[in-house]
């Protein structure tokens, strides 16, 4: 047992009151984030400024006292480091030049070590600034999710451009996934060495893949990342989040060996408890829209999750990131309700 409650859960223990944090907890729903963001200039300037990145990482910890803090950065700093010059256009999301098979052949994964030193400096600063009991999470995007943006050049509703590319250019696609596996291993190891207690791998677009591509583009690459990270950091604690994986979650957990599995709000609570919780800690899965609407719907949804999952290894979280419309008062209410649950 350590005094970092979330880390204890990743070690397979059950905490009396589950640790809680929220994906995208540092972000636009907080006025202090919007103020720092305005001072920084662009979003990437904020990610690459260790002092300001530390400040926005700390903001939700100060306000809500969450059990975990996640590095303030973005999954797209990896393609940026690989030379794909990412731009964040206000109101439009990320933009990149769509990558060609020829350009894929020239990618060098080791650039994440040389190009992302401001991120590693932020990791060191954040660990030194956080309260001792706060678990500190590093992260990366999974190869498939990062590849979708590199291929299309922007976000799309169902990642059709990347799915098409995978079929039309299978060799180049495989090469791109392989480069991203290698880059992610180096990137996560470095974050762990600089002070992250654990890391999360975000596969936000896993749910658009058919059976075969789910294995080759999501599950197998993530399994290789877990293995590659643990080859250097043997007891590395890793959270997988293959959003939308549904019934494939069991196979994913078994094949990858993650310590915790992030679950979106579509996953049935009893099924997850009976099928997954004996093998892995659960993380999730409140629908983020409930932090906009509140009311008894919010309270009852929190209680249902607590009832189903809090008797085993469990980390309370949302099923995906909190949105800019998320209500600060409802976040306070959520934290309070989770922490007082066993007393009711
Ligand atoms: O608090 C945290 O969770 C830490 C920081 C974090 C951000 N992005 C900050 C961010 C993390 C962990 C991410 C992950 C990320 N980024 C994912 C995976 C998780 C998910 O939400 O699915 C993805 C797919 C991205 C790519 C990305 N970044 C998109 C599509 C966008 C635009 C859409 C949007 O929500 O704005 C971003 C921008 C982004 N990343 C913002 C923040 C706070 C907003 C930028 C701003 O301030 O203008």
Please indicate, yes or no, if residue 220 is contained in any of the structural domains: yes
Please indicate, yes or no, if residue 26 is contained in any of the structural domains: yes
Identify the domain containing residue 198 by its residue range: 5-339
Q: What is the mean pLDDT of residues 277-297?
A: 98
Tens digit of each residue's pLDDT (9 = 90 or more) over 172-217:
999 999 999 999 999 999 999 999 999 999 999 999 999 999 999 9
pLDDT reading at 90 higher than 90: no
Q: What is the overall mean pLDDT for the chain?
A: 97
| pLDDT attached to residue 91 | 81
pLDDT reading at 343 higher than 70: no
37 is catalytic: yes
The domain tally of the chain equals 1
Q: Which of 33, 48, 149, 187 is catalytic?
A: 149
Residues flagged as binding site for substrate: 24-28, 74, 149, 204, 320
Q: What is the mean pLDDT of residues 243-272?
A: 98
Please indicate, yes or no, if residue 261 is contained in any of the structural domains: yes
The neighbouring-strand residues paired with 103 are none
Pick the more confident residue, 111 or 91.
111
Q: Which of 28, 63, 87, 230 is catalytic?
A: 28
Tens digit of each residue's pLDDT (9 = 90 or more) over 215-253:
999 999 999 999 999 999 999 999 999 999 999 999 999
Q: What is the CATH number of the domain that holds 146?
A: 3.20.20.210
Please indicate, yes or no, if residue 344 is contained in any of the structural domains: no
pTM for this entry? 0.97
Please indicate, yes or no, if residue 114 is contained in any of the structural domains: yes
CA of 46 to the centre of ligand 1 (A): 12
């Amino acid at each position: 047992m350590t005094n970092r409650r979330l880390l204890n859960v990743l070690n397979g223990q059950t905490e009396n009151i589950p640790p809680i944090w929220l994906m995208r907890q540092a972000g636009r729903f907080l006025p202090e984030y919007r103020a720092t963001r305005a001072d920084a200039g662009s979003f990437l300037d904020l990610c690459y400024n260790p002092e300001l990145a530390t400040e926005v990482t700390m903001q939700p910890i100060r306000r809500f006292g969450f059990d975990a803090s996640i590095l303030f950065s973005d999954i797209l700093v990896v393609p940026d480091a690989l030379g794909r010059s990412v731009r964040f256009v206000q109101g439009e999301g990320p933009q990149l030049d769509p990558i060609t098979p020829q350009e894929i052949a020239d990618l060098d994964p080791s650039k994440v070590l040389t190009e992302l030193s401001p991120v590693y400096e932020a990791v060191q600063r954040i660990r030194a600034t956080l309260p001792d009991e706060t678990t500190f999470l590093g992260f990366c995007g999974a190869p498939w999710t990062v590849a979708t943006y590199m291929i299309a050049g922007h976000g799309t509703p169902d990642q059709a451009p990347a799915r098409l590319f995978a079929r039309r250019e299978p060799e180049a696609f495989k090469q791109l996934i392989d480069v991203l596996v290698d880059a992610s291993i180096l990137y996560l190891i470095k974050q762990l060495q600089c002070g992250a207690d654990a890391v999360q791998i975000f596969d936000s677009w896993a749910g658009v893949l058919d059976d075969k591509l789910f294995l080759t583009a999501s599950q197998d690459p993530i399994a290789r990342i877990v293995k590659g990270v643990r080859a250097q950091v043997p007891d590395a604690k890793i959270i997988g989040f293959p959003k939308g994986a549904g019934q494939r979650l069991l196979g994913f957990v078994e094949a990858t060996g993650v310590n915790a599995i992030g679950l979106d709000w579509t996953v049935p609570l009893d099924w997850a408890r009976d099928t997954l919780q004996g093998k892995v800690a659960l993380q999730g899965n409140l629908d983020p829209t409930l932090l906009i609407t509140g009311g008894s719907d919010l309270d009852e949804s929190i209680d249902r999750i607590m009832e189903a999952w809090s008797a085993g290894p469990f980390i309370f979280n949302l099923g995906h990131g909190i949105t800019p419309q998320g209500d600060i008062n409802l976040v306070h209410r959520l934290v309070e309700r989770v922490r007082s649950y066993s007393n009711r």
